[in-house]
Chain A
Amino acid sequence: MSQDIAGTAVAGQVAMVFDLNKCMGCQTCSIACKVLWTREEGEEHQWWMTVNTQPGQGTPKDWEHMGGGRKKDGSPVTGHQPTRAEFGGGWEFNYDEVFYGGKGRSVHLKPTDKGDGTTRWGMNWDEDQGAGEYPNAYYFYLPRLCNHCTHPVCASACPTGAMYKRPQDGAVLRDEDLCQGSRFCMEACPYKKIYFNEARNVAQHCIMCFPRLEEGVAPACARQCPGRLTFVGMLSDPEGPIHKLVNEWEVALPLHPEYGTTPNVFYVPPLAPYRLNEDMSIDYETPRIPPEYLESLFGPKVHSALATMQGELDRVRAGGTSEILDTLIVYNWLDLFGPFTTDPATLDRTPDKVAVSLTAKRTEPAGG
């Protein structure tokens, strides 16, 4: 068992790996999550799963400079609580005016400006902008969700014990009966993946689709991804791809490890095309995505991870084989999901059959 700073021993840790070489920014994962979980009042602006273009300011706007997390000595770092305007989104549109008000030829469909700044940012506002100058412009896509950290600062900062790490699989959940909407979790989380539901006065975030996990079904974002890039499994399963990618081959890395929370969502960093010289010849020595930028995201281990990946590519191109690449190609779709391979369409979902135990209500004492 592992022991986190918040004092919760976990029997196993559910984890995810995203292969950034395959993400095409289609946002299917974001929509899958939104349609399933955040369709009610107070959740209009909430996107528990987001895909942002990197380099970019992401969501909430400029989240990487909002503090939170822990220092190397484990002490907390004061964070900024993202404002509603910094998240943006959740817009209302002038449908009546354009479609029914006879102004379709004179008025554009647009978000209604409520004067609160929310129409000047959104969950993928700077999509596809990237960085660099033609012909060496570059960007890649970065899917993000709650990292269900081993040392969740959100749980440590919560004064009521509403945020907690579930013992059976390490998912960080919230008991909405206990949440008083104080939002210290939003300040403390360095990844800024916690939202506030104003209508219900509670914090909300990705729940790792725990009701699906309990039925052996992979999270919606993973299962609906058309790119076959989202692995789900138990971090400690030695036969599973998560363990191999993260611990054995070390090609999957945490995002911003310096935040000190030990996240359990990992990324295979993107190999980049080569830079072009002024005469349009190829500079085979220089990748278009600056290695130092990737290091700022994934830490110094990114260089060895990329070197490992390149080595595997070179071997396969020379006629050899690569277990790493075979794993990342995902010839068999269900290999992505570890023990969570049940098809949700096969489940009996009649109301009286749905388990009433599917709840995030905290069962062990707060402060334990």
Chain B
Amino acid sequence: MQVPEIVDDALDPADKAWAAVPSEKVPLVPVPIEEQPNEYIRTAWRTRPYGRVAAVDVAAVQRGERLLVRLEWDDSDEPNTEFLDGAGVFFPDAGDSGAPLTIGSHSAPVRLWAWRDRTPMQEALPAARELVASGPGAFRAAGLDAGDGENEGARPDAVSALSGGRWAVVIAGDLARAAAAGRMGVVVWDGSNDERAGIGAVSPNWVPLTVK
């Protein structure tokens, strides 16, 4: 995926700058049930379908030291109850060739920039978080451990919009990390299906990124 440079900020998914940026339809598959981190989750979801979002339109631009990724997908017709919709992009460490299917692993964690819709009570929470993901649902806030290298200025941000039954979310984060990885994974959680943690839809293959 080509990642053109832009001058103006395009954090708003409705920004006209995105009209000129080609998007790519990335198919998604359920995170494999056998890779879920514990027996409870595997038991609870073995016969329950998840990973409902089958594909997401992805576009990306770079602006200064930031990578902006725009994700767009069809929202479910069913209402959310206990969980809200979410999405994220994740980046392996340089040299790691593992599949994105498990959103990282214990031996090869990935950096996940995660957005989740918020309730009015959650407005004080950040729109996006940077997580160290070591497998399905094994997410840990970046910066908790020494050597995580969390840079406050590089923290991800996100802006979302729901219109016409489609979510459009722009997630912005540290360009250097994305450039070093050279490729990106995508994950989407359908809140109306109680999807969260490792229960979601993920890109089975890395999306190559050509960053200048």
Residues of chain A whose beta carbon lies under 8 Å from any beta carbon of chain B = 41-42, 75-79, 81, 83-84, 153, 156-160, 177-178, 180-184, 187-188, 198-201
**Of B43, B44, B81, B139, the contact of A160 (CB 8 Å cutoff):** B139
Chain B, 23-80, CB within 8 A of any chain A CB: 36-41, 43-44
Q: Shortest distance in angstroms between A77's beta carbon and chain B's nearest beta carbon?
A: 8
Contact with A along B128-146 (1 / 0, CB 8 A): 0001000011111100100
Knowing A160-B139, A178-B140, A198-B121 touch, does A83 contact B40 (C-beta < 8 A)?
A: no
Q: In this complex, which of A42, A79, A180 has the most chain B Cβ atoms within 10 angstroms of its Cβ?
A: A180
Q: Are A78 and B137 in contact (CB under 8 A)?
A: no
Interface residues on B, range: 20 to 34
Cβ of B6 under 8 Å from chain A: no
Q: Are B122 and A198 in contact (CB under 8 A)?
A: yes
10 contacts between A and B (CB under 8 A): A75-B43, A78-B43, A81-B82, A156-B38, A157-B40, A159-B41, A159-B139, A182-B196, A198-B119, A198-B121
Closest to B119 in A: A198
Closest to A187 in B: B44
Secondary structure dominating the interface of A: loop
Q: Are A42 and B121 in contact (CB under 8 A)?
A: yes
- Contacts across chains A and B counted by CB atoms under 8 Å: 73
Q: Shortest distance in angstroms between B193's beta carbon and chain A's nearest beta carbon?
A: 13
Q: Are B197 and A180 in contact (CB under 8 A)?
A: yes
Query: A200–B198 Cα gap in the complex (Å)?
Result: 20
Cβ of B125 under 8 Å from chain A: yes
* B125 neighbours in A (Cβ, 8 Å): 200-201
Q: Are A177 and B144 in contact (CB under 8 A)?
A: yes
* A84 neighbours in B (Cβ, 8 Å): 82
Secondary structure dominating the interface of B: loop
Q: Are B122 and A159 in contact (CB under 8 A)?
A: no
Closest to B48 in A: A78
Q: Are B40 and A156 in contact (CB under 8 A)?
A: yes
* A183 neighbours in B (Cβ, 8 Å): 82, 196
Q: Are B197 and A157 in contact (CB under 8 A)?
A: no
Closest to B37 in A: A159
* A188 neighbours in B (Cβ, 8 Å): 40
Q: Are A182 and B44 in contact (CB under 8 A)?
A: no
Cβ of B7 under 8 Å from chain A: no
* A201 neighbours in B (Cβ, 8 Å): 122, 125
**Of B40, B81, B131, the contact of A184 (CB 8 Å cutoff):** B40
Q: Are B119 and A157 in contact (CB under 8 A)?
A: no
Knowing A76-B39, A187-B44 touch, does A159 contact B136 (C-beta < 8 A)?
A: yes
**Of A42, A75, A177, the contact of B39 (CB 8 Å cutoff):** A75
Chain B, 183-212, CB within 8 A of any chain A CB: 194, 196-198
* B38 neighbours in A (Cβ, 8 Å): 156-159
* B19 neighbours in A (Cβ, 8 Å): none
Q: Are B43 and A159 in contact (CB under 8 A)?
A: no
Sample of 18 more A-B contacts, CB < 8 Å, known A42-B121, A76-B44, A153-B40: A78-B43, A78-B44, A81-B82, A81-B194, A157-B41, A159-B37, A159-B136, A159-B137, A159-B138, A159-B198, A160-B138, A160-B139, A177-B141, A180-B196, A182-B196, A184-B41, A199-B122, A199-B124
Query: A87–B208 Cα gap in the complex (Å)?
Result: 47
Q: In this complex, which of B40, B41, B43, B141 has the most chain A Cβ atoms within 10 angstroms of its Cβ?
A: B40
Q: Shortest distance in angstroms between A54's beta carbon and chain B's nearest beta carbon?
A: 27
